Amino acid sequence: MSVNISKVEVFTFENQKITLDHFKGKVLLIVNVASKCGFTKQYKALQNLQDTYESQGFRVLGFPCNDFGNQEPGELEEIKEFCSVSFGASFQLFQKIHAKGNTTEPFSTLNKVSPAGDVEWNFEKFLIDRKGDAVARFKSSIEPESIEIKQEIERLLN
């Protein structure tokens, strides 16, 4: 099921409320991130994706989440510094969210994307087209720079 996220409200790192139509015209990869997870090394690959495709209109949006094994206990400034120092990650981070159970946006909307259901772990990825439609969902174990994800990004950028 395709879900449009354009009208979804989220809070930026600076705690400003915006709707995701702020990114309309861009291809997005929305990810729930955590600093103390086995998948944390994906920060580097997520930044590599943004560096590779940013000039074509691609952005990675990271939403810190502490729902899974308390693997994101830090405050936002700590998280941002950790990402930058440890992985060179500078893609946009937002306020901490809940991705399972009583979820917060954008995941209460994204959890309707096929296969529908709560995010199962940190670093689940949702690919959003230029119109704001969530068109693909990738489990945590699928590496950001996998052929599967890169082909979808390139298809949406063309």
Token pair of 108 as six digits: 């209460």
Choice among 3, 20, 37, 83 that is catalytic: 37
CATH superfamily placement of domain 3-157? Glutaredoxin (3.40.30.10)
pLDDT tens-digit map of 40-84: 999 999 999 999 999 999 999 999 999 999 999 888 888 988 888
Known catalytic residue: 65?
Answer: no
| Terminal CA-CA length for the chain | 22
**pLDDT tens for each residue of 128-158:** 999 999 999 999 999 999 999 999 999 999 9
Say what the pLDDT of residue 1 is. Answer: 56
- Is 2's pLDDT higher than 90? no
The pLDDT tens digits of the residues spanning 86-131 come to 898 999 999 999 998 778 899 999 988 888 889 999 999 999 999 9
Mean pLDDT of the chain: 93
DSSP class of 18: E
Instruction: Specify whether the CB–CB gap between 110 and 126 falls below 8 A.
Output: yes
User: Using alpha carbons only, how large is the chain's radius of gyration in Å?
Assistant: 14
